[in-house]
Amino acid sequence: MFEKCEGIVLRTVNYGESNKIVTLYTREWGKVGVMARGAKKPNSRLSAVTQPFTYGYFLVQRSSGLGLMQQGEMVSSMRSIREDIFLTAYASYIVDLTDKTVEEKKPNPFHFELLHQTLNYMNEGYDPEIMVNIYEMKMLNSLGLYPVLDKCSVCGSTDGHFSFSIREGGLICHRCLEKDPYHYKISPAALKLLRLFYYFDLSRLGNISVKPETKAELKKIISAYYNEYSGLSLKTRKFLDQMDKMGGFFEKG
């Protein structure tokens, strides 16, 4: 029996001469793998709807193993992302992080909405670096990580000057700095954004403008936290880091 689902294409793998194995993240069923027969053929009705980042509705026959995709109805191809190598790199990391973090066939409508909104904002021209930072902060709980961002992770104090401690797993106040000599200094602006990214509802995102030095702080702390605790080593993340080192060589203009 074929059933309709709302989904986003996370990745595809060519299979045989004309088929694709497509990993979908769906609102109804979570992450599922499906065979799209003939999708490699340019004239196939499945060719366009099985491109990475595509959001739409899919008619799928589920099974205990690989399902079967019969047809798809595209809502958005995320065209702006796919036509820009810079945006593609950021979006690739976001879907890669999703693919490696969520479990097979475990629906989570909150995560589905988070992924859809994040890609949509990027497609509409929101700052991709900031969208990645927001997504990374919001994916922490899925990885079993709960950074302490509302008080000192050592003494519990809510007042004072704060730094960020990877060792202690969150904020550390000026009175407890000796507990971690390797703490990161953090500006009030970066601290406010870390908290905002972790706690706020993404659907309420307005225009957000962040200074380059604050962006650098956020990236350094979030990356260090992920490196220490996530257990992930993603090629898409390494590519973003290389792009960053090349000073935006891949950026438009």
Q: What local confidence, expressed as pLDDT, does residue 245 receive?
A: 82
Domain 1-128+234-249 has CATH 1.10.3980.10: no
Dihedral, 241, 243, 247, 249 alpha carbons, nearest 10: 180
Q: What is the mean pLDDT of residues 137-165?
A: 96
Tokens standing for residue 245: 């080192």
Domain ranges within the chain, ordered by starting residue = 1-128+234-249
Which has the minimum average pLDDT: 60-64, 132-136, 165-169?
60-64
CA-CA distance, 140 to 157, in Å (whole number)? 23
Task: With a cut of 80, say whether residue 17 has pLDDT above it.
Answer: yes
Q: What local confidence, expressed as pLDDT, does residue 204 receive?
A: 86
CB 232 within 8 A of CB 100: yes
CA-based nearest residue to 32, from 15, 52, 7, 55: 7
Does the pTM surpass 0.75? The reply is yes
CB 137 within 8 A of CB 118: no
Strands 30-36 and 67-76: parallel
C-alpha count within 13 angstroms, C-beta hemisphere, residue 137: 24
CA-CA distance, 117 to 123, in Å (whole number)? 10
CA-CA distance, 149 to 138, in Å (whole number)? 13
Q: What is the mean pLDDT of residues 212-239?
A: 96
Q: What is the mean pLDDT of residues 27-52?
A: 95
SS3 category, 187:
coil
Buried b (16+ CB within 10 A) or exposed e, 197-222: bbeeebeebeeeebeeebbebbbebb
Tokens standing for residue 14: 């060519």
CA-CA distance, 253 to 249, in Å (whole number)? 9
Confidence of residue 206 (pLDDT cuts 50, 70, 90): confident
Confidence of residue 246 (pLDDT cuts 50, 70, 90): confident
CB 58 within 8 A of CB 20: no
